[in-house]
């Protein structure tokens, strides 16, 4: 009996422990289990490509990173070049006295086109330093007179005039232009003042001339200029300028009075 009683007590303790564990664990009914399974099946699958997409987008370059950067747009910096062409007028006059001999010559004429070339460098969007070369052939009227006298006061006078004479002149110099209005939004942007100094060669040709026919003179002088450029893109501009020039031919005789005066009106194409 004692053994039978002990077995009954052991069996009762095991049953009590199993019941307690079952009560503490979560239980789901049949309907609740079905709901959980359907929710799990309806959840969207997360693909590896979706996770990788943000990483790929971060590595792609943006439009700002790939667009080339334009160096110094609409500014006078670095290499500078200019081509100008237009109208020019010249007034040439020379007088030479050598002992008892006297010579006088003059020429007035126009040309189109005068060709002007400049190459240089722009500094700080304010200054441009350049080398200038221009050449022109003028058409107009030339006059000359030669007077030769001997020691007894006997003089020989030769006069000449030609309405279809020409004057060829070339000039090379070094100059600078100042662009004081640096703000590209200003209406005065592109306005400039400039000038150059240099040497030139000139010669007048005419069938009826004596003293100046086929003579080539070396002259030195200066040019002053004012104008305006308008930007057409980040590096090119078109413009208009007016210039006055003066030169003095180097004539190696005493008592000489010589001068060349004129002006240009140029249409300009500028880079830089």
| Rounded Cα–Cα distance for residues 175 and 180 (Å) | 16
pLDDT computed for residue 5 by the predictor: 54
Q: What is the mean pLDDT of residues 7-18?
A: 50
Q: Using an 8 Å Cβ cutoff, are 116 and 83 in contact?
A: yes
Higher confidence at residue 26 or residue 77?
Answer: 77
Whole-number mean pLDDT of the chain? Answer: 79
**Residue 243's closest CA among 93, 136, 106?**
136
Q: Using an 8 Å Cβ cutoff, are 178 and 126 in contact?
A: yes
Confidence band (pLDDT; 50, 70, 90) for 49?
A: very low
| Rounded Cα–Cα distance for residues 67 and 238 (Å) | 27
pLDDT computed for residue 51 by the predictor: 47
Supply the pTM of this predicted model.
0.70
Pair of tokens at residue 59 = 């590595």
How many Å from the N-terminal Cα to the C-terminal Cα in the chain? 121
pLDDT computed for residue 210 by the predictor: 56
Burial class (CB in 10 A: 0-12, 13-18, 19+), 93: middle
**Considering the chain, what percentage of its residues have pLDDT values greater than 70?**
68
Beta bridge partners, 244, equal 224, 263
pLDDT computed for residue 23 by the predictor: 47
Bond into 202 cis (ω within 30) = no
Beta bridge partners, 94, equal 105, 258
Confidence band (pLDDT; 50, 70, 90) for 204?
A: confident
Higher confidence at residue 136 or residue 8?
Answer: 136
**Residue 102's closest CA among 140, 53, 158, 54?**
158
pLDDT computed for residue 201 by the predictor: 92
| DSSP element (H, E) containing 56 | helix 48-59
Confidence band (pLDDT; 50, 70, 90) for 215?
A: low
| Rounded Cα–Cα distance for residues 121 and 172 (Å) | 17
pLDDT at 36 over 70: no
pLDDT computed for residue 40 by the predictor: 47
For 3-58, give the DSSP string.
HHHHHHHHHHHHHHHHHHHHHHS----HHHHHHHHHHHHHSPP--HHHHHHHHHHH
Pair of tokens at residue 223 = 């040019």
Confidence band (pLDDT; 50, 70, 90) for 22?
A: very low
66-70, 148-152, 159-163, range with the lowest pLDDT: 66-70
Q: Using an 8 Å Cβ cutoff, are 141 and 110 in contact?
A: no
Q: What is the mean pLDDT of residues 24-51?
A: 49
- What residues have CB less than 8 Å from 215, skipping those under 6 apart? 203, 204
pLDDT at 268 over 90: yes
Q: What is the mean pLDDT of residues 82-87?
A: 98
């Amino acid at each position: 009996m004692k053994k039978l009683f002990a077995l009954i007590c052991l069996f009762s303790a095991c049953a009590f422990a199993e019941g307690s564990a079952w009560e503490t664990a979560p239980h789901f009914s049949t309907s609740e289990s079905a709901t959980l399974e359907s929710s799990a099946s309806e959840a969207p699958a997360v693909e590896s490509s979706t996770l990788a997409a943000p990483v790929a987008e971060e590595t792609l370059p943006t439009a700002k990173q790939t667009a080339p950067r334009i160096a110094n747009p609409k500014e006078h910096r670095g290499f500078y070049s200019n081509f100008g062409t237009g109208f020019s007028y010249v007034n040439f006059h020379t007088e030479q006295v050598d002992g008892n001999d006297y010579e006088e010559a003059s020429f007035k004429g126009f040309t189109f086109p005068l060709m002007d070339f400049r190459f240089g460098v722009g500094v700080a969007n304010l200054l441009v330093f350049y080398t200038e070369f221009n050449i022109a052939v003028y058409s107009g009227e030339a006059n000359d007179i030669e007077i030769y006298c001997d020691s007894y006061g006997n003089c020989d006078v030769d006069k000449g005039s030609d309405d279809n004479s020409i004057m060829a002149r070339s000039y090379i110099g070094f100059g600078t232009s100042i662009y004081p209005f640096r703000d590209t939004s200003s209406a005065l942007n592109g306005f400039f003042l400039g000038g150059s100094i240099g040497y030139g060669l000139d010669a007048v040709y005419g069938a009826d001339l004596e003293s100046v026919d086929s003579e080539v003179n070396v002259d030195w002088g200066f040019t002053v200029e004012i104008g305006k450029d308008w930007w057409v893109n980040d590096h090119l501009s078109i413009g208009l300028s007016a210039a006055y020039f003066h030169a003095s031919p180097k004539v190696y005789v005493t008592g000489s009075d010589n001068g060349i005066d004129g002006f240009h009106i140029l249409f300009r194409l500028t880079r830089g």
